[in-house]
Each structure stands twice: as structure tokens, then as C-alpha cells.
């Protein structure tokens, strides 16, 4: 049974609007509705100041749409007019030089190392890059995996650390199963696939085992996966961070010499408010911000070629410009990316000649360029001693 927009709208009319004043459709709060492969996508506009209390409204809309016969799943997001966030008054960093297209494969040039004083590096790893987000559900892990593959595609030796202790998804995204071996009974050997060296808590516990850990346990687990793994010589270690700004994020930011951080956000203003929190955290601990990636930026209908900005568009780019942070690129909401990722075949590896793979490779190229700029800036800032 095919699902129609009219059927979705009729069901959404049963969802009461904020303060019980009419329904969300007649109040004009529902965005354009897009339906593909029995999956329904739309957003609901709410006041930014009341975003948290509106979560039951979003959940109710998602629930009634999922109940429609023929609907396989529904993706509903809250969006709002921007009313300010955590970093409006923060002084912007000088804007980095505009990123160009992906550079040619480097001739084994040395990757930049983290420059923060007092942070112990990891032997064999030249640069550690964190991929973070202010909230979950923005496609951070998929982005981290494909950026890592994009860096490998330009000739770098790349590792991937799944630091999302509570919800490790990298094993599934890379199609890796089994348990890691040990080199000497203590040091773990990373798992490998698609040319990446990989470590994740998902290799050590069953997928359905809940990780009910307090802060010190999280810190200990992250430290072991970072420093007690035989990473071997790597140009870049990409770290898929947990969403938010809790113990795991602070541990990585404060104790590890990160060469830079990438923030992943969706276009809507509410997601950007959370993304600013991540940006602010990295700035406070002097971790260079390599840039922002806008995920689920737009949708191109496969049957008509028409473009839909389901969750808004360009919000992350405008935020990057306002804060003086590089904009690394926009990734479309593409069913193929999700399907290939869920099947353990990330799009950069599975369809290297496709449009989506090129987008990720270009982002990876800009990440590498920003790493070189940060390294050059750090070296240029060192004092020069002259003897006369």
C-alpha cells in the first residue's frame, strides 16, 4: 500500500499544537512532507526557547505517522527560528583560508601533531582528529567513518577509534565482527576493514549489552582503547566521539593532544544550538576547530530530481561564517548512504565513483588542508631566539 501526503496530513491533524491551541497542521507548523520507500520525512516548527518541552509533541507526531498502514518509518525533527544560543557573544576566530577541492595524494608528508602542551601523545600516531556533535541523531558516526575512508583515499594511513562508549556503531557501519587479538596478552591489535585500523567497545561486548557506566569507568575505557592498542604508524586517527559534552568528550579534549575537531550538525536551528556547545567546549580547552559539516543538508527526489530542504538548509554554513570556522561541506539526506552504512558498506568504499563518495572525499581533503594550516600556524607562532 502506497502512502500519500494527504494521509500523513490527516493523521497529523490529530496532534494538538503547543498550548493545546488547534492542531499542528492548521497552525502551519509542519514543513513539506517527503515520502520515499514508505519512509516519511518532515519537520515541525516550534519556539526555540521551548524546544525541550516540545519533545513530546515531536514524538506524538512521529507515533501517529508510523501507525499509518504502509509506513515503514518516520523521521521527524523539531526546527525553529534562531533566537540565540550559547556562543552568540563569543569573539570569532580569524576566518581560515577558504578550503579548496581535495588535494592530490600527499607524498608521505608528515601529518600535524597536536600542539597542546602537557598532553601526552600516542606513539605511532601523528595526528588525532575528533568528530563530534552537540546531540545525537545527526549522522556523526556515518560522517566519521566516511571522512576516515576519504582520508585513506588520498594516500594516508588512517585509524578509527569508536569512542561512543554507550552506543558503539562503528562495527556495524564497517561490517566488522569478532573480537580483537592481543599482541602480548595486554596490547590489543585493532580490527581492520577497507584499509582502516579500527577499535570499538562494540568489539568487546555484545551489541545488545547496555553500557551502564559511570564517569570514571568511561574515562578508563577510553584511555585503554587509545593507549593500549597497537595502532602502528598512522598519519591520522579519527575519533568518533559520543554526542554531547560529558565525561568522554572532556577526557579526550583535556588529556589527548587533539590536532583538531570537526563538528557535525543538521541544518535546523535547534541542532545548531547544541553544536555551539561542542564548539565552545573545544575552544575552552584550546583544541583547534577544523570546521563544521552540515549533514542531511537537502534531499534530491530520485524520481523527479526535485530538491527538498526538509530540515532547512545552510544553517551550519551561516553559523561557520559567523563564528569564523571553516565550512567543510554539506552532505545530502540520501537513502543510499543510510542503506549502505546499515549494511556495513560505507558509501566511500562501496561506491567510490558515486556523487556521495565524492562529497565525503572532498570534505576529507578539506580536513587534511585545515590540519596543514593548523600545523603551519602552530610552528609559525613559536618564538625565535637570536644570538648576537
290 has pLDDT over 90? yes
CA distance 339 to 342: 5
Mean per-residue pLDDT over the chain, rounded: 77
Q: List all residues 6 or more positions away from 21 whose beta carbon is below 8 Å from its beta carbon.
A: 27
The three cell numbers of residue 80 are: 525553529
CB atoms within 10 A of CB 298: 19
Q: Any idea which residue has 508510523 for its cell?
A: 66
Q: Give the residue-averaged pLDDT of 254-282.
A: 77
Residue 160 DSSP symbol? E
Q: Of 89-98, 198-207, 234-243, 261-270, which has the strongest mean pLDDT?
A: 234-243
From the CB of residue 204, how many other CB atoms can be counted at a distance below 10 Å? 15
**The predicted structure's pLDDT at residue 196:** 95
Q: How confident is the model at residue 276 (pLDDT cuts 50, 70, 90)?
A: confident
Q: Which residue has the higher pLDDT, 278 or 124?
A: 124
CA dist 222 and 239 (Å) reads 11
Domains and CATH numbers, the chain: 5-79 (3.30.300.130), 125-380 (3.40.50.300)
Q: What is the CA radius of gyration of the chain?
A: 22
Residue 108: per-residue pLDDT: 39
Q: How far apart are CA 44 and CA 31, in angstroms?
A: 6
Task: For 127-163, write each residue's pLDDT tens digit.
Answer: 999 998 866 677 888 999 999 999 999 999 999 998 8
pLDDT at site 379: 65
Q: Are 49 and 82 in contact (CB under 8 A)?
A: no
Residue scoring higher pLDDT (201 or 378): 201
Q: Which of 46-55, 253-262, 271-280, 321-330 has the lowest mean pLDDT?
A: 271-280
What pLDDT does residue 115 have?
45
Could you give the percent of the chain with pLDDT greater than 70? Answer: 74
The pLDDT tens digits for 197-234 are 999 877 876 655 555 555 555 666 777 788 888 998 99
* pLDDT at residue 119 is higher than 80: no
Amino acid at each position: 500500500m502506497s502512502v500519500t501526503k494527504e494521509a500523513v496530513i490527516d493523521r497529523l491533524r490529530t496532534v494538538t499544537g503547543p498550548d493545546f491551541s488547534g492542531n499542528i497542521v492548521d497552525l502551519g507548523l509542519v514543513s513539506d512532507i517527503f515520502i520515499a520507500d514508505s519512509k516519511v520525512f518532515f519537520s515541525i516548527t516550534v519556539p526555540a526557547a521551548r524546544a525541550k518541552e516540545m519533545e513530546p509533541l515531536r514524538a506524538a507526531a512521529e507515533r501517529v505517522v508510523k501507525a499509518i498502514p504502509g509506513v515503514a518509518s518516520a523521521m521527524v525533527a523539531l526546527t525553529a527560528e534562531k533566537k540565540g544560543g550559547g556562543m552568540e557573544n563569543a569573539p570569532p576566530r580569524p576566518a581560515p583560508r577558504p578550503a579548496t577541492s581535495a588535494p592530490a595524494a600527499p607524498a608521505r608528508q608528515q601529518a600535524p601533531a597536536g600542539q597542546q602542551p602537557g598532553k601526552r601523545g600516542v606513539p605511532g600516531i601523528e595526528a588525532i582528529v575528533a568528530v563530534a556533535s552537540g546531540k545525537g541523531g545527526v549522522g556523526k558516526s556515518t560522517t566519521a567513518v566516511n571522512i576516515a575512508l576519504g582520508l585513506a583515499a588520498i594516500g594516508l594511513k588512517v585509524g578509527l577509534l569508536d569512542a561512543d562508549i554507550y552506543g558503539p556503531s562503528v562495527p556495524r557501519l564497517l561490517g566488522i565482527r569478532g573480537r580483537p587479538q592481543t599482541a602480548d596478552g595486554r596490547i590489543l591489535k585493532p580490527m581492520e576493514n577497507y584499509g582502516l585500523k579500527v577499535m570499538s567497545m562494540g568489539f568487546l561486548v555484545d551489541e545488545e549489552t547496555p553500557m551502564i557506566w559511570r564517569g570514571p569507568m568511561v574515562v578508563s575505557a577510553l584511555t585503554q582503547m587509545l593507549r593500549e592498542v597497537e595502532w602502528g604508524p598512522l598519519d591520522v586517527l579519527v575519533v568518533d566521539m559520543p554526542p554531547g559534552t560529558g565525561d568522554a568528550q572532556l577526557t579526550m579534549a583535556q588529556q589527548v593532544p587533539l590536532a583538531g575537531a570537526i563538528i557535525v550538525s543538521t541544518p535546523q536551528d535547534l541542532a545548531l544550538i547544541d553544536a555551539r556547545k561542542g564548539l565552545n567546549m573545544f575552544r575552552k580547552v584550546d583544541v583547534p576547530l577544523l570546521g563544521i559539516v552540515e549533514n542531511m543538508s537537502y534531499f534530491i527526489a530520485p524520481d523527479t530530481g526535485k530538491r527538498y530542504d526538509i530540515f532547512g538548509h545552510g544553517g551550519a554554513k551561516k553559523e561557520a561564517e559567523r563564528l569564523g570556522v571553516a565550512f567543510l561541506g554539506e552532505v545530502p539526506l540520501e537513502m543510499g548512504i543510510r542503506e549502505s552504512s546499515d549494511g556495513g558498506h560505507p558509501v566511500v568504499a562501496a561506491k567510490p565513483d558515486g556523487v556521495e563518495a565524492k562529497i565525503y572525499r572532498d570534505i576529507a581533503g578539506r580536513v587534511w588542508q585545515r590540519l596543514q594550516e593548523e600545523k603551519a600556524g602552530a610552528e609559525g607562532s613559536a618564538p625565535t631566539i637570536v644570538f648576537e
